[in-house]
């Protein structure tokens, strides 16, 4: 489960809502930092594999995941 403080950071990212967090939890993401260096296409694929069927498709999935990866990279740059 994603801790509340991490959840709040992630929900502040454009296109990231509760459903996105549930999908990320399904592949083991527990913090925004877990997404640093991630590839949005590979993350989307992992989520679909975890679900056992394609539940998330581009372009919205890729946009949401790219926004989260970018936020994770900014967090590292800011020293958080």
User: For the chain, which residues make up each domain, given as ranges?
Assistant: 4-77
Per-residue pLDDT of the chain (80 residues; tens, 9 = 90+): 999 999 999 999 999 999 999 999 999 999 999 999 999 999 999 999 999 999 999 999 999 999 999 999 999 888 75
User: Would you state the pLDDT for residue 78?
Assistant: 80
Q: Answer yes or no: are the C-beta atoms of 64 and 43 closer than 8 Å.
A: no
Closest CA to 62 of 48, 44, 45, 74: 44
User: Would you state the pLDDT for residue 80?
Assistant: 59
């Amino acid at each position: 489960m994603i801790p509340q403080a991490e959840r709040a950071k992630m929900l502040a990212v454009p296109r990231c809502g509760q459903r996105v967090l549930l999908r990320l939890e399904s592949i083991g993401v527990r913090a925004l930092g877990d997404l640093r260096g991630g590839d949005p296409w590979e993350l989307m694929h992992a989520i679909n594999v975890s679900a056992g069927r394609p539940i998330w498709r581009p372009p919205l999935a890729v946009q949401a995941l790219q926004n989260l990866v970018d936020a994770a990279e900014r967090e590292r740059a800011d020293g958080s």
